[in-house]
Structure formats: structure tokens, C-alpha cells
């Protein structure tokens, strides 16, 4: 399983694209979230962007799914023929269709490929596009589904947005890599995780690697030294603060 970061930023960071992660296993690939500043990062990162099998949307905040029109319209322009699956919470199909109509009216009529939608619920177990998907609700200001992916003997947990919950901790247990929304440094903000809570979850669940993303822009700039000191101080797993474009081979 190869994990590459098209973006690592929060909603309004002017220097880092929104958090978006490309996961590849064998010939299968999925993009985790696609916010308004993330789509171009994906196109610059992926070796074969038209081979993308699926996009997973964790929740309906703009920095997690408003990049879909850009992704889809460029796919039309590039001549995509392969079906693209979009997975997400209840209402994903109507949300995306409304967004496409607002952004690029009638683009669906120009597409030579099918958009196929799958609604996901907590505790559901889905096999699709070469991956096994399982889900759990995080603690966020709107419903947000963390997802566990298993493929090729490797496993990854992506938190989406939100503080860890008992359900997300259970889902993340034993994963090779956790990708954790870590908005602030050392105390959970309402509806968000922190560097400390992410590292503690990694310790509790026996993670191999814990990657911190979606760090608040001012915290990341002014407190990076403190963040790196915390990462360097962990024991029993590897902790990283990835940059856009970084890739990890699990």
C-alpha cells in the first residue's frame, strides 16, 4: 500500500492544499477527500490520474469535497472513460450533483464515464475498488466518518475531521498507518483533534505510523518546533508531520 499526500492543510491555509490522500494498492487507487484547493494537487501527484478508481468523502465541509467539480471536469477534458466511484455519507449523490450543476452546468452530459455513488454508514463493511472499507463516526461539528482501508495485507485509518471517539479508536486498532486530523497542539478544540490526542490514539491502537494533517495554519507555522519535539519523543511507533507531495510505502 502506497500512501501519498496531495494536500495536508486545513480549510483556509494559503500555503498548503486541503488535506487529501491518494492510497494505492496493486492496480487499485482511492483519493481520500477532495477539498476546494486539493484537486490540482492530486493531478500533480498521481502518475496515472485517469486510473483513479474512487474518491472517498468523509463529510460535507467545503475543504473536503468542493474540489470534486474540478476533478471531474478535468477528467472529462482528459478523456476519461473509466467509471469513477464516489463514496461518502448519506446524501453524497444529491450533494455532488448539486455542486456539479452550480460549478459546471451540464458537465454530466459531456462525460464519457459513469459516476457511481455509494452511501456509507457507521459500522458498515464494504468491499469495492480493491479495498475493504469500514467506518466510524468522529466527534465533529457535522457528521464525519473516519474510514479504515484494508488491501494487500496492509491497513490504514483516516480520521476525516473530528476528535477521536471510542468507535474510531476501535476501528483504528492495529493499523499500519493512522492519518489524523490534528488541528491544535495539546488540547482538543470543540469538534477537532489535537497533536496530543492523535499521538495518544496511535499509542493505544498499536499503529505503525501516525501522520498528522489538517493542523491549524498558525499553529503549524509558529509551533512547528514544539510539534516536532512531540513527534520525536514518541516510543513504539513512527510519528510524522507530512508535507504535500510526501509518500509512504507501507
The H or E element spanning position 32 is: strand 28-32
Q: How many domains, in total, are found in the chain? A: 1
Average pLDDT of every residue of the chain: 96
What's the pLDDT at 188?
Answer: 63
C-alpha cell at 133: 472499507
Which structural domain range is residue 7 located in?
A: 2-249
Q: Dump pLDDT digits (tens) for 121-172.
A: 998 999 999 999 999 999 999 999 999 999 999 999 999 999 999 999 999 9
Task: Compute the distance between CA of residue 50 and CA of residue 148 in angstroms, rounded to an integer.
Answer: 24
Would you say the pTM of this structure is higher than 0.85?
yes
Task: Compute the distance between CA of residue 12 and CA of residue 182 in angstroms, rounded to an integer.
Answer: 15
Q: Dump pLDDT digits (tens) for 89-118.
A: 999 999 999 999 999 999 999 999 999 999
> Domain holding 172: CATH number?
3.60.15.10
Q: Are 178 and 159 in contact (CB under 8 A)?
A: yes
Q: Are 92 and 68 in contact (CB under 8 A)?
A: no
C-alpha cell at 140: 465533529
Amino acid at each position: 500500500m502506497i500512501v501519498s499526500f496531495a494536500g495536508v492543510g486545513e480549510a483556509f491555509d494559503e500555503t498548503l492544499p486541503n488535506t487529501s490522500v491518494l492510497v494505492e494498492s496493486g492496480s487499485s487507487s482511492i483519493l481520500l477527500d477532495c477539498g476546494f484547493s486539493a484537486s490540482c494537487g492530486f493531478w500533480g501527484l498521481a502518475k496515472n490520474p485517469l486510473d483513479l478508481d474512487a474518491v472517498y468523502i468523509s463529510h460535507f465541509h467545503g475543504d473536503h469535497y468542493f474540489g470534486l467539480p474540478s476533478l471531474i471536469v478535468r477528467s472529462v477534458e482528459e478523456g476519461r472513460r473509466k467509471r469513477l466511484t464516489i463514496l461518502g455519507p448519506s446524501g453524497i449523490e444529491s450533494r455532488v450533483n448539486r455542486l456539479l450543476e452550480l460549478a459546471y452546468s451540464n458537465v454530466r452530459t459531456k462525460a464519457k464515464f459513469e459516476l457511481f455513488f455509494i452511501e456509507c454508514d457507521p459500522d458498515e463493511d464494504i468491499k469495492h475498488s480493491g479495498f475493504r472499507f469500514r467506518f466510524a463516526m468522529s466527534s465533529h461539528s457535522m457528521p464525519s466518518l473516519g474510514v479504515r482501508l484494508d488491501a494487500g495485507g496492509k491497513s490504514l485509518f483516516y480520521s476525516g475531521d473530528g476528535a477521536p471517539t471510542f468507535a474510531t479508536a476501535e476501528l483504528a486498532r492495529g493499523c499500519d498507518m493512522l492519518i489524523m486530523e490534528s488541528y491544535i497542539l495539546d488540547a482538543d478544540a470543540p469538534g477537532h483533534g489535537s497533536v496530543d490526542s492523535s499521538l495518544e490514539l496511535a499509542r493505544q491502537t498499536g499503529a505503525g505510523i501516525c501522520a498528522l494533517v489538517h493542523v491549524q495554519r498558525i499553529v503549524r507555522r509558529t509551533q512547528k518546533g514544539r510539534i516536532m519535539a512531540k513527534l520525536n519523543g514518541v516510543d513504539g511507533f513512527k510519528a510524522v508531520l507530512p508535507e504535500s507531495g510526501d509518500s509512504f510505502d507501507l
